[in-house]
Chains A and B, each alone.
Chain A
Amino acid sequence: MLRSLHRWPGLLALALVTLLALSGAALSVFPAAERLAAPGAVPGQTVGALLARVAAANPGVEEIARSPAGRITADWTTAGGPVSMVIDPASGRAVGPAVPDRLHRWLVNLHRSLFLGDAGRIAAAAGAAALLLLVGTGAVMVARRAGGWRRWFAPVRGGQAGRWHVQAARLTLPGLVFSALTGLWMTAATFDLLPQGAPTRQTFAPGTGGNALAATAVADLRVLTLPDPGSAGGTIRLTTVAGSGTVDPASGALLSWTAPGRWQQLAEAVAALHSGRGAAVLGLVLGLMALGVPVMGGTGVALWLGRRRGHPRVRANAPAGRAETVILVGSDSGSTWGFAAALHRALTAAGQSVHLGAMSAFAPARYAMARRILILTATTGDGAEPASARGFLDRLARAEPLAIPLAILGFGDRSFPQFCGYAEAVAAAATARGWARLIPFDTVDRQSPQDFGRWGRALGDAIGLPLDLAHQPVRPVSHRLVLVSRRDYGAEVQAPTAILRFALPRVPLWRRLTGRGFGRFAAGDLLGIAPEGSAVPRFYSLASGTADGFVEIVVRKHPGGLCSGQLLALAPGDGIAAFLRPNPGFRPDAGAAPLILIGAGSGIGPLAGFIRANRAGRAVHLFFGLRHPDSDFLYAEELTEWQLEGRLARLCTAVSRGARPHHVQDALRQEAAQVARLIRDGARIMVCGGRGMAGGVAEALAEILAPLGLSPAALRAEGRYVEDVY
Chain B
Amino acid sequence: MKPTLAALALTTALTVPGLGHARPVTFTATLNDYGGNGAYLAFYVTDPSGAYVGSLWMAGRKSGYYQHLTGWYQATGGDPAQIDGITGASVGAGRTLKITLDLADTLMDAGYTLHVDAAAENLRESPNDVTVPLTAAGAGQTVAGRRYVAAFSYQM
Residues in chain A within 8 A of chain B (CB atoms): 63, 65, 75, 77, 82, 84, 99-100, 102, 105, 109, 189-190, 192, 223, 225, 228, 237
Contact status of A100 and B35, CB under 8 A, knowing A82-B146, A190-B62: yes
Interchain residue pairs A-B with the least CB separation, the first 7: A100-B35, A82-B147, A75-B124, A100-B36, A190-B62, A63-B124, A192-B63
CB pair A100–B70 under 8 Å, yes or no, is no
* 8 A Cβ contacts from B52-66 to A: 62-64
Instruction: Give A99 to B33 CA distance when docked, in angstroms.
Output: 13
Task: Closest A residue to B80 by CB, please name it.
Answer: A192
Determine if B70 and A105 form an interchain contact, defined as CB atoms under 8 angstroms apart: no
Q: Which residue of A lies closest to B128 (CB)?
A: A228
State the CA gap A541–B146 with chains docked (Å). 82
Least distance between B113 CB and chain A CB atoms (Å):
12
Do B36 and A225 touch across chains, with their CB atoms under 8 A apart? no
Task: Report A-chain residues with C-beta under 8 Å of the C-beta of B102.
Answer: none
What residue in chain B is nearest A75 (Cβ atoms)? B124
Mark each residue of chain B from 83 to 126: 1 if its CB lies under 8 Å from any CB of chain A, else 0: 00000000000000000000000000000000000000011110
| Chain B residues within an 8 Å CB radius of A102 | 35
B125 with A225: CB separation less than 8 A: yes
6 A–B contacts from the bound complex (CB under 8 Å): A65-B124, A75-B124, A100-B36, A100-B123, A105-B35, A189-B64
Residues of A within 8 A of B125 (CB): 223, 225
Assess the B124–A105 pair: CB atoms within 8 A.
Answer: no
- Chain B residues contacting A99 (CB-CB under 8 Å) are 35
Q: Give, as a whole number of angstroms, the nearest-CB distance from A198 to chain B.
A: 11
A65 to B68, CA, bound (A): 14
Asked if B142 CB lies within 8 Å of chain A CBs, one says: no
* Shortest Cβ distance from residue A94 to the other chain B in the assembled complex, whole angstroms: 15
Is the C-beta of B37 less than 8 angstroms from some C-beta in chain A?
Answer: yes
Least CB distance from A116 to B in Å reads 13
Q: Per a CB cutoff under 8 Å, which of B37, B70, B146, B147 touches A109?
A: B37
> Which one of A63, A77, A82, A190 has the highest number of Cβ atoms from chain B below 10 Å of its Cβ?
A82
Shortest Cβ gap from A91 to chain B (Å): 22
B contact set with A: CB distance below 8 Å:
34-37, 62-64, 70, 122-125, 128, 146-147
B62 (CB) vs chain A CBs: closest residue: A190
Residues in B with CB closer than 8 Å to A100 are 34-36, 122-123
Q: Do the beta carbons of B62 and A77 come within 8 Å of each other?
A: no
> When A77-B146, A100-B35 are in contact, do A190 and B124 touch as well, CB less than 8 Å?
no
New contact pairs (13) apart from A65-B124, A102-B35, CB-CB < 8 Å: A75-B124, A82-B146, A99-B35, A100-B122, A100-B123, A105-B37, A189-B64, A190-B64, A192-B64, A223-B125, A225-B125, A228-B128, A237-B70
Tell whether, in the assembled complex, residue A84 and residue B124 are in contact, meaning their CB atoms are under 8 Å apart.
yes
- Which residues of chain B have C-beta atoms less than 8 A from A82's C-beta? 124, 146-147
Q: List, in ascending order, chain A residues with CB within 8 A of B122's CB.
A: 100, 105
Give CA–CA (A590, B128) in the complex, Å: 72
- Min distance, Cβ A111 to any Cβ of chain B, angstroms: 13
Q: List residues of chain B with CB within 8 A of the CB of A109.
A: 37
CB-CB nearest in chain A for B36: A100
CA of A17 to CA of B147 in the docked complex: distance in angstroms?
Answer: 38
A654 CA / B94 CA spacing, docked (Å): 92
- In the complex the two chains form, what is the Cα distance from A96 to B70 in whole Å? 28
Please give me the residue from chain B that is nearest to A65 by CB atom. B124
Which residues on B sit within 8 Å (CB–CB) of A237? 70
Residues of A within 8 A of B35 (CB): 99-100, 102, 105
Question: A269 to nearest B CB, angstroms?
Answer: 15
* A192 neighbours in B (Cβ, 8 Å): 62-64
Roughly how many angstroms separate A192 CA and B145 CA in the complex, as a whole number? 31
**Shortest beta-carbon distance from B142 to chain A in Å:** 16
A246 to chain B, nearest CB (A): 9
Q: How far is the CA of A447 from the CA of B62 in the complex (A)?
A: 65
Task: Report the Cα distance A102→B122, complex, angstroms.
Answer: 12
- Chain A residues closer than 8 Å to B37, beta-carbon distance: 105, 109
Residues of the B chain whose Cβ atoms lie less than 8 Å from the Cβ of A189 = 64
Closest chain B residue, CB of each to CB of A237: B70
Determine the distance from Cα of A237 to Cα of B146 in the docked complex, in whole angstroms.
18
Q: For B128, what are the chain A residues with a Cβ–Cβ distance below 8 Å?
A: 228
Expressed in whole angstroms, the Cα–Cα distance for A192 and B122 within the complex equals 20
**In the docked arrangement, what's the CA distance between A75 and B62, Å?**
26
Q: Which residues of A contact B62 (CB under 8 A)?
A: 190, 192
- Please, how many angstroms separate the alpha-carbon atoms of A100 and B35 in the complex? 6
